[in-house]
Structure 1
Amino acid sequence: MNDKKNRKIDPFIDGAIPPEFISESIRKHSAKTNIGGHSLFLGQVREDKKGDTEVEAIHFTAYKEMAINKLAILREEIFSKHELVCIHLYHSLGKVKKGEICLFVFTSSKHRKTAMEACEELVERIKKELPIWGKEIYNNQSYHWKENK
């Protein structure tokens, strides 16, 4: 097995994922000339309205050790199923304000369709399988635990 594929990676970033971090990640891949397609997913905190209240932010928490272990297994499964060159995944912890990025998934392959299918599968599995939770914080300072959809 390739160490790059099955290693344990800590995907967590404190706070929002800066746009500069995302653009730098993309820029670094221009030197990898065996890649023909990339697929990116950016999860952003949206301003949901619930009655008279609006979401101002989401506070993310995780069972980090379990999430890191599960992510290693998930990465290996995705690499085994799809012919990928690389997978990158970052998720916010702590408070992320509306309009800010909280999830960055980036897959690369020789062919675009492979990268797109792998990215979509990875996003869906992250939402269902990783122990990460979000508490929506409203403009009246109340909160509600968010359901992953």
Structure 2
Amino acid sequence: MERKPKNIFVEGPITPIKIGNSIENHSKKTGIGGHSIFLGQVRADVKEEGTVKGIEYTCYEEMALEKAFEIREDVFAKYPLTCMHIYHSLGYIKAGEICLFVFTSSKHRKAAIDACEELVERIKKEVPIWGKEIIGEEKAVWKENK
């Protein structure tokens, strides 16, 4: 059976309820020994133009989903994972809100931790998602992923 790209996008911030529910949903999977979670939060960076109030995330969705699927398949092939979840925000996310949630699970912690780290790095570098930093009422600056 051919696997299809899963929608990783969430409109608006990723809520603590979504994160908590995702964790709770794994409590019945008793073969899991370790989870690794990464939460990306919008920073209120101070720039030359002013303080970042939030980030407006956009993407070319079809291409982004294909790339995320490719990364997901690569990481599943490389590590003995039980579960993997990736969620990325689209739209306006205020400073202090969560914009990226990566959650990996495995029988042993090392695989979950290593897979989670690789996913985050590859998502930031390879998935065509753009963030425009909103500074004050009238200024915006395109963000560079690091």
TM-score, normalised relative to structure 1:
0.94
Give % identity.
59
Contact 2:56/2:90 (8 A) holds in 1 = yes
Deviation at 1:13, TM superposition (A): 0.5
Structure 2 counterparts to residues 1-149 of structure 1, below 5 A: 6-51=3-48, 53-149=50-146
Q: Following the alignment from structure 2 to structure 1, what is the Cα–Cα distance between the partners of residues 97 and 118?
A: 23
Deviation at 1:136, TM superposition (A): 0.1
Q: Following the alignment from structure 1 to structure 2, what is the Cα–Cα distance between the partners of residues 35 and 94?
A: 34
Q: Following the alignment from structure 2 to structure 1, what is the Cα–Cα distance between the partners of residues 138 and 11?
A: 21
Q: Following the alignment from structure 1 to structure 2, what is the Cα–Cα distance between the partners of residues 140 and 62?
A: 23
Q: Following the alignment from structure 1 to structure 2, what is the Cα–Cα distance between the partners of residues 87 and 66?
A: 20
Deviation at 1:140, TM superposition (A): 4.1
1:10-29 residue CA offsets vs partner (Å, 9 max, x unmatched): 10011101111000000000
Contact 2:81/2:106 (8 A) holds in 1 = yes
How well do the aligned residues superpose, as a CA RMSD in angstroms?
A: 1.2
Contact 1:11/1:91 (8 A) holds in 2 = yes
Equivalent residues, number: 146
Higher mean C-alpha deviation, range 138-147 or range 124-133:
138-147
Deviation at 1:52, TM superposition (A): 5.6
Segments ≥4 residues shifted beyond 3 Å: none
Q: Secondary structure at the match of 1:30?
A: coil
What stretches of structure 1 of length at least 5 have no aligned partner? none
Counterpart amino acid of residue 29 in structure 2? K
Contact 2:49/2:135 (8 A) holds in 1 = no
What stretches of structure 2 of length at least 5 have no aligned partner? none
TM-score, normalised relative to structure 2:
0.96
